């Protein structure tokens, strides 16, 4: 399997755009776990051009809920043919438009997949574990 070496950046949460709504219950649970653990475990995935969150909406909202200003992220070129959105009835343009116009899809409507050596995997497969102390993200 191809190994990706991706830079992890700390992005200002206020610059991120969401294309999906979230489940409040999940955000509350995730916020409580982050506070208990004292760290963020995994980076989110963001489009380099638009700052639309491709994966990690609940992590972003949980971080926002507990007062974090930054979140670890990998930046991806969403225009790459290696990134695919499912279901196929929703295009990448639909995702970007929904985020820019504030007309979000219901929670978990889209899945972003990445093509690795001819196989599709959920994009979380390349999101690195980070274990960043939340004190550094305030």
Q: What is the pLDDT of residue 7?
A: 83
Whose tokens are 């409040």? That residue is: 24
Confidence check: pLDDT of 66 > 80: yes
* 43, two tokens: 């980076």
What does the pLDDT average to over 62-84?
95
Q: How far apart are the first and last CA of the chain?
A: 36
CATH number of 8-137: 3.90.1530.10
- Is residue 20 part of the annotated active site? The answer reads yes
**Among 20, 24, 61, 127, which one carries the catalytic annotation?**
20
Confidence check: pLDDT of 127 > 60: yes
Confidence check: pLDDT of 51 > 70: yes
State the pLDDT confidence band at 55, using cuts at 50, 70 and 90: very high
């Amino acid at each position: 399997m191809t190994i990706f070496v991706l830079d992890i950046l700390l992005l200002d949460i206020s610059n991120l755009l969401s294309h999906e709504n979230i489940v409040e219950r999940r955000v509350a649970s995730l916020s409580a776990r982050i506070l208990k653990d004292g760290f963020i475990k995994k980076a989110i995935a963001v489009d380099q051009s638009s700052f639309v969150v491709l994966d990690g909406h609940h992590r972003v909202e949980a971080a926002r809920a507990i007062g974090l200003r930054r979140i670890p992220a990998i930046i991806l070129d969403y225009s790459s043919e290696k990134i695919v959105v499912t279901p196929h009835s929703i295009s990448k343009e639909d995702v970007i438009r929904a985020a820019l116009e504030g007309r979000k899809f219901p929670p978990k409507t889209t899945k972003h997949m990445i093509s690795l050596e001819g196989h599709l995997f959920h994009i979380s497969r390349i999101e690195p574990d980070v274990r960043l102390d939340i004190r550094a993200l305030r």
